[in-house]
Amino acid sequence: MVVDLRRTLWVAFALGCAALLSPALAADGPDLYGVHCAACHQPDGEGLGAFPALVGSERVLGDPHALTAFVLDGMGQMPAFRNVLEDEELAAVLSHVRTSFGNDAEPIEVDLVAEVRAENEADTETDPVEVDLPEDWFELGEQLFLSNCAACHQASGEGLPGAFPALAGSAYVQGNADEVIRLVLHGRAGMPAFGGSLENLQIALIVSYVRNAWENEAHEVDAAMVETVRGGGDLELEPTTPTTRPGAGN
């Protein structure tokens, strides 16, 4: 009897532990939303200014395939999450926005995300954009980053919480290249403008570096592209297509 009771208690204890642990192991939609989406779309999904509301949005509630493709590849100021979120994470965060804030649509399956990711990868691979950079662009970009940016964003790219945003793992940095170049050229709030002090090639090297350092992965840019953005033009670089890194040995 005593042994049975102990075993029963042990099993109950083990099940309790599993129940406590499993939500932390699975991709957590609300958490991921807080980290990756809430700054723009707001914690309540109501959006703000240029950032559209996700509550009642046709794009959110409509075709799951189109929604997944949209968030994977971004559009305008909406960053691409292809290189930021795993399939399971993207499925969790999309399921969260489709079922929260009063939204009431079916969750998104991991398999669908994997399928859409593979389809669009195939599309973009056929159309690589040539960039004109020196062979050792990664090292050159790193040096320029260390002397111009690291005082605030840190050599690790982790930034300083509350003061300087992390560039490592940032969806913004790996998103639309036009936006990143424009920000470095013209600055914003506490972020200084570098358009006056750095030349196009130097900016191209820095932007290419931050988009590919610390496990970031996004298309490089060259001096001509910086010139285009300086002149108010747009790049035809999206969706983000990671290319090989000639200076990084792969």
Q: Does 149 bind ligand HEC (CB under 6 A)?
A: yes
Strands (E), the chain: none
Give the nearest distance from C-beta 12 to ligand HEC in angstroms: 38
Q: Does 57 bind ligand HEC (CB under 6 A)?
A: yes
Among 27, 29, 37, 133, binds ligand HEC (CB under 6 A): 37
Give the nearest distance from C-beta 3 to ligand HEC in angstroms: 51
DSSP 120: H
Residue 175, both tokens: 């998103």
CA distance 16 to 119: 41
Give the nearest distance from C-beta 201 to ligand HEC in angstroms: 13
DSSP 227: H
Cα–Cα distance list, 155 to 18, 166, 210 (Å) = 39, 11, 11
Among 28, 39, 129, 169, binds ligand HEC (CB under 6 A): 39
Give the nearest distance from C-beta 183 to ligand HEC in angstroms: 5
Give the nearest distance from C-beta 224 to ligand HEC in angstroms: 19
Taking CB under 6 A as the criterion, which residues in 119-148 touch ligand HEC? 148
Q: Which of 235, 220, 234 is nearest to 133 (CA)?
A: 220
CA distance 192 to 149: 10
In Å, the largest CA–CA distance within the chain is: 83
SS3 246: helix
Residue 48: beta bridge partners? 51
174 close to 83: Cβ distance less than 8 angstroms: yes
Q: Which stretch binds ligand HEC (CB under 6 A): 9-17, 70-78, 212-220, 241-249?
A: 70-78
Q: Which stretch binds ligand HEC (CB under 6 A): 128-136, 159-167, 221-229, 239-247?
A: 159-167
SS3 121: helix
CA distance 82 to 120: 10
SS3 159: coil
SS3 51: strand
Q: Does 168 bind ligand HEC (CB under 6 A)?
A: no
Give the nearest distance from C-beta 245 to ligand HEC in angstroms: 18
Among 115, 164, 227, 237, binds ligand HEC (CB under 6 A): 164
Give the nearest distance from C-beta 7 to ligand HEC in angstroms: 45
Pattern 75-114, ligand HEC, x by CB under 6 A: xxxxx-x-----------x---x-----------------
**Residues that bind ligand HEC in the complex, under the rule CB under 6 A:** 36-37, 39-41, 50-52, 54, 57, 59-60, 67, 70-71, 75-79, 81, 93, 97, 148-149, 151-153, 164-165, 167, 170-173, 180, 183-184, 188-192, 194, 206, 210
